[in-house]
Amino acid sequence: MNDMIEEARSILKKVYGYDAFKQGQEAAITSILRRQDTMVIMPTGGGKSICYQIPALLFEGVTMVISPLISLMKDQVDALESVGIPATYINSTLSHQEMNRRLEDVITGKYNIIYIAPERLETESIYRLVGQVQIAFVAVDEAHCVSQWGHDFRPSYMTIDRFIEGLAERPVVAALTATATERVQQDMSQQLNLRNPEIIKNGYNRENLTFTVLKGVNKHHFIVDYTMKHQGEAGIIYAGTRKDTENICKLLVKQGLRAGMYHGGMGAEDRKQNQEKFLYDDVDVMVATNAFGMGIDKSNVRYVIHYNMPENIEAYYQEAGRAGRDGLPSKCILLFGAADVQLRRYLIDQSEDLDEARKHMKYEKLQQMTQYAHVTYCLRKYILTYFGDEEIEDKCDNCSNCNGNIIKEDMTLEAQKILSCVVRMKERFGTKIIAEVLKGSKNKRVLQLGFDRLSTYGLLSELTIGAVKDSINLLIAEGYLRMTHDEFPIVKITERGVKILKGIEQVYRNVIEEEEVQVKEELFEQLRQLRRDMASNEHIPPYLVFSDASLREMCKQYPTNEIAMLRVKGVGEAKYKKYGEPFMDRIKRYVEEHHIQVDTLDMHIHEKLATKSKKQKEPSCFISAKLFLELQDFKEVAKERSIQVRTVENHIFEAYAQGFEINMDQFIPDGYEERILETIKEMGKERLKPIKEVSDTCVTYNAIKAVIAKHDL
């Protein structure tokens, strides 16, 4: 057994490029390898799939991964192939022929991981398959779909249990999900008939996500502002309706932003195309209804903004959780408006296929979601408590309630304009037409009613209709206006509203404090571009080449040889072979252009290994150093050896670092040593350029390098 765990670790390193398991992974894998049924509840981005993929590689026989997400299957299989693991999938997108071909390949042992949609389990061809191969392990992904009490019940999941029991030999079964309340967990265990399952619960916390709730912001303004500031980063904006989705997308495109959209009303082909553009980093922002996202596994989404509040916490956490799957800091922002609650209530009301009990449950969940927007304590604590996590810190210091980086902006004047318009219109109209009047719309109805003659007509013409509506909704949420409960609700002014008109009270809106604009590192951008090019050659999403986290690490460590590259998280052998060279070349060029002093330790190891394999050949830097002692000139050495002058220079310092005797003083101008030393201490030795810039012209890069070498800095 211990051998198997060892082997699991070595697969983790060799194949996936990670040194250590993330929390919970090892426990889950150990349990599964012991042939114990296992339930894994691990937040998105926690590395859930590794929990079944590694055992699949170690078990004899075939592993079936049951997954409801047809588009995700392809991504998962692509991801496995990108690390050199043969896998395939069976779902309704394949032709009959193709399906049979794949099943044939499973039988002949070409694949031992097969992804399958639950609908396909009880089909003739699958029965034939399981008659011919041994199914060692069944992993049920998104296992919460089996529960009616979950938020995403799928009847096809009810067949899984029957399918498993029908197999000649019962396989190990693992049920995996990212979100499940206590009740859903019990259901998973029962419905899938798990045998005394080991439960691995990782907690739901996603430390890298910052949660923010904004009430009373102008939603359109906010979205435009935010996306403009974050151009070049991937983000998702969820809206409640198709119409909003279209409007927001149009608005962003008009601002020159790279935005795309996705909703259920679009044709399948358009949806697919837009989704791919987002996956391949061809658009930055995806504006979508909740129809979007189930099938995507993009790891570098930096923010998720909810334009409307979702129906329950599960849905919110799942959607928001699509941010930051690579573990890097990412933002989840909910733009709350009172109208959202009404919209959701209405939708539940209208759904005819719900019995009273389910309706009641939905109202309750909606209530809990609404509370999230109103709590004054830690937002993370609220969510985690909802999912039953225990022992949560009171403050996370990473949510808008803990950090309070929200500033209030005075909107009294705007409010006065709106309120007086409501008064002028005799408090007899709804939000839409009030907004149109304030905007100065030439709409037929506005003109018919003679509202273009009101003194308040066009008072807010500089805003969009949507922005004006948002402001009206804010005033409703804050109690300055109220809406009647009619079929066509009318907006009326309240006593508090009168105080605004009289100038007795002020109104504020929340604005997120200007964030520090992160300086985009040049190298990161270069590597990103390279990744995009390589991915588009292969027709795979860029994150399958390397994740953002891997690129970030490369920017920190500047790996320029195999050993250093393999040390980067997420770089395993297969990926190294496929993509390593061009990335190292780009990094090398950058390091040279910017005169960055890279820790030479890696180079030494590399040299040593190279030396060993070449039967103790003398290190190249020693050859250069010896020649230098003889010729006393870099250029001459370079000529002699047919290598670059810069390489020779580097060789000299490298050889010195390895104990070769060369007088460093010859490179340092007289009387400058102390001064250079001071500057290095002050500015650090990572980047030589700034040191050179503040130094005298006679101080060369070599002089700086010599000081660093001499003082062993």
Which residues of this chain interact with Zn ion, rule CB under 5 A?
378, 380, 396, 399, 402
Q: Which is nearer to Zn ion, 393 or 678 (CB)?
A: 393
Q: List the beta strands (DSSP E) in 67-121.
A: 87-90, 113-116
Q: Which is nearer to Zn ion, 384 or 587 (CB)?
A: 384
Least distance (Å) between residue 400 CB and Zn ion? 8
Least distance (Å) between residue 659 CB and Zn ion? 53
Report which secondary-structure segment, H or E, holds 423: helix 412-424
DSSP state string for 554-610: HHHH---SHHHHHTSTT--HHHIIIIIHHHHHHHHHHHHHTTB---THHHHHHHHHH
Least distance (Å) between residue 380 CB and Zn ion? 5
Phi, psi (deg, nearest 5) at residue 334: -105, 120
Least distance (Å) between residue 705 CB and Zn ion? 47
Q: CA 131, CA 378: separation in Å to the nearest integer?
A: 54
Q: Which is nearer to Zn ion, 118 or 324 (CB)?
A: 324
Least distance (Å) between residue 225 CB and Zn ion? 24
Least distance (Å) between residue 394 CB and Zn ion? 8
Q: CA 426, CA 492: separation in Å to the nearest integer?
A: 9
Q: Which is nearer to Zn ion, 397 or 630 (CB)?
A: 397
Q: Which is nearer to Zn ion, 214 or 288 (CB)?
A: 214
Least distance (Å) between residue 374 CB and Zn ion? 15
Residue identified by tokens 């699958």 is 126
Q: CA 656, CA 659: separation in Å to the nearest integer?
A: 5
* Buried b or exposed e, range 559-585, using 16+ CB within 10 angstroms: bbbbebbbebbbbbbbbbeebbeebbe
CA 450 distance to own-chain centroid: 51
Q: Which is nearer to Zn ion, 218 or 401 (CB)?
A: 401
Q: Which is nearer to Zn ion, 62 or 402 (CB)?
A: 402
Q: Which is nearer to Zn ion, 375 or 694 (CB)?
A: 375
CB atoms inside a 10 Å sphere around CB 553? 17
Least distance (Å) between residue 236 CB and Zn ion? 22
Spell out the SS3 assignment of 431-495.
HHHHHHHHHCCCCHHHHHCCHHHCCCCCCCCCCCHHHHHHHHHHHHHCCCEEECCCCCCCEEECH
Q: CA 630, CA 454: separation in Å to the nearest integer?
A: 94
Report which secondary-structure segment, H or E, holds 52: helix 48-58
Q: List the beta strands (DSSP E) in 178-329.
A: 198-201, 209-215, 234-238, 259-262, 285-288, 301-306
Q: Which is nearer to Zn ion, 90 or 399 (CB)?
A: 399
Q: Which of 177, 186, 195 is nearest to 51 (CA)?
A: 177
CB atoms inside a 10 Å sphere around CB 703? 21
Q: Which is nearer to Zn ion, 49 or 212 (CB)?
A: 212
Q: Which is nearer to Zn ion, 50 or 402 (CB)?
A: 402
Query: Percentages helix, strand, coil for the chain, rounded to the nearest 5?
Result: 50, 10, 35
Least distance (Å) between residue 377 CB and Zn ion? 8
Least distance (Å) between residue 305 CB and Zn ion? 19
Least distance (Å) between residue 210 CB and Zn ion? 9
Least distance (Å) between residue 398 CB and Zn ion? 6
Sign of the C-alpha dihedral, residues 690, 695, 698, 703? negative
CA 543 distance to own-chain centroid: 10
Phi, psi (deg, nearest 5) at residue 628: -65, -40
Residues in the chain: 713
Least distance (Å) between residue 587 CB and Zn ion? 37
Q: Which is nearer to Zn ion, 290 or 401 (CB)?
A: 401
Least distance (Å) between residue 405 CB and Zn ion? 12
Q: Which is nearer to Zn ion, 8 or 378 (CB)?
A: 378
Least distance (Å) between residue 514 CB and Zn ion? 21
Q: CA 289, CA 279: separation in Å to the nearest integer?
A: 17
Q: Which is nearer to Zn ion, 285 or 373 (CB)?
A: 373
Report which secondary-structure segment, H or E, holds 382: helix 379-386
Q: Which is nearer to Zn ion, 56 or 396 (CB)?
A: 396
State how far the alpha carbon of 415 is from the alpha carbons of 23, 55, 315, in Å. Answer: 50, 61, 34
Q: Which is nearer to Zn ion, 140 or 402 (CB)?
A: 402
Q: CA 139, CA 374: separation in Å to the nearest integer?
A: 39
Q: Could you tell me if 559 and 587 are in contact, meaning their C-beta atoms sit under 8 angstroms apart? A: yes
Show the DSSP H helices in 230-323 as ranges: 242-254, 268-279, 313-320
Residue 257: helix, strand or coil by DSSP? coil
Q: Could you tell me if 46 and 22 are in contact, meaning their C-beta atoms sit under 8 angstroms apart? A: yes
Q: CA 300, CA 330: separation in Å to the nearest integer?
A: 9
Q: Which is nearer to Zn ion, 402 or 419 (CB)?
A: 402
Helix axes 379-386, 356-374, angle to 10 degrees: 160
